């Protein structure tokens, strides 16, 4: 499996794209999906993703964010098939119109510029088989870890951890009553393009507040564990 390449990102750079070697590792790409904290560490993200969510190139980030948000909001009012059909139809109309326009322009100006989408047509869009196998291995490893963790929580191997998991599930019942799945996807999409940049801009203050919250949670957890020693893992002899 490939070793992910790291790259440095200047926190003060808010305009120009990062010109460093991309981290193309499949492990890195799939890892960020399962570890949300990586979204707040640009050096652990693939280069293209980091440039987008941290708005290194505002024009590209704005286009991706706007297009993605429009599609997601469309799914609220229309079916997935309708959204895909209309999106594809609009794209086709734009490309065909532009193709005809360029052809007429070349005929009038008597130029031989060729197909306007020649560069895109020549791109290699084939997915390497080794990347697919690598991605599958990474996905399977995360699924196995998730299954083991759920077994530990549901079977109360540690009562405190199971209790915290129960509180989380209880909170999710309220969240499910307030939002549907698509709304959560929209909120997650918006958060991906806003929270990382906000964190980068106010990193010091946010870290201080998070440390205070973490200390309080650790204190409460320690008191609960001391009061409920049942279910703790036995130390290996």
Q: How far apart are CA 182 and CA 120, in angstroms?
A: 32
The predicted pLDDT at position 35 comes to: 62
* Residues 196/39, Cβ–Cβ less than 8 Å: yes
Give residue-wise pLDDT tens across range 94-140.
Answer: 999 999 998 898 888 888 888 888 888 888 888 888 888 888 888 89
Give me the pLDDT at residue 218, please. Answer: 83
Report pLDDT for 10.
Answer: 47
CB 7 within 8 A of CB 18: yes
Taking only the tens place, the pLDDT of each residue in 143-158 is 999 999 999 999 988 8
pLDDT of residue 144: 94
Residue closest to 75 by CA, chosen among 91, 86, 61: 86
Q: Which residue has the tokens 């020549």?
A: 122
Residues of the chain with pLDDT under 50: 1-30, 32, 234-237
Domains of the chain, by residue range, sit at 26-77+124-227
Distance CA 16, CA 58 (A): 9
pTM for the whole thing?
A: 0.61
């Amino acid at each position: 499996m490939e070793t992910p390449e790291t790259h440095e990102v200047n926190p003060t750079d808010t305009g120009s794209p990062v010109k460093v070697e991309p981290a193309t590792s499949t492990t890195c790409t799939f890892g960020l999906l399962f570890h949300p904290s990586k979204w707040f560490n640009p050096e652990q993200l693939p280069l293209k993703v980091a440039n987008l969510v941290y708005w290194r190139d505002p024009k590209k980030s704005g286009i991706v964010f706007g297009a993605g948000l429009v599609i997601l909001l469309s799914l609220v009012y229309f079916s997935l098939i309708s959204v895909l059909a209309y999106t594809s139809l609009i794209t086709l109309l734009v490309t065909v119109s532009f193709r005809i326009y360029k052809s007429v322009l070349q005929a009038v100006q008597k130029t031989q510029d060729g197909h306007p989408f020649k560069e895109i047509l020549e791109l290699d869009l084939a997915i390497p088989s080794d990347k697919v196998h690598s991605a599958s291995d990474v996905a399977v490893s995360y699924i196995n870890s998730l299954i083991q963790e759920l077994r530990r929580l549901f079977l109360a191997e540690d009562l405190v951890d199971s209790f915290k998991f129960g509180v989380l599930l209880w909170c999710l019942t309220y969240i499910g009553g307030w939002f549907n799945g698509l709304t959560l996807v929209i909120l997650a999409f918006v958060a991906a393009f806003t929270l990382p940049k906000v964190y980068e801009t106010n990193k010091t203050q946010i870290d201080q507040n998070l440390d205070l919250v973490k200390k309080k949670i650790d204190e409460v957890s320690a008191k609960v564990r001391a009061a409920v020693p049942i279910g703790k893992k036995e130390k290996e002899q």
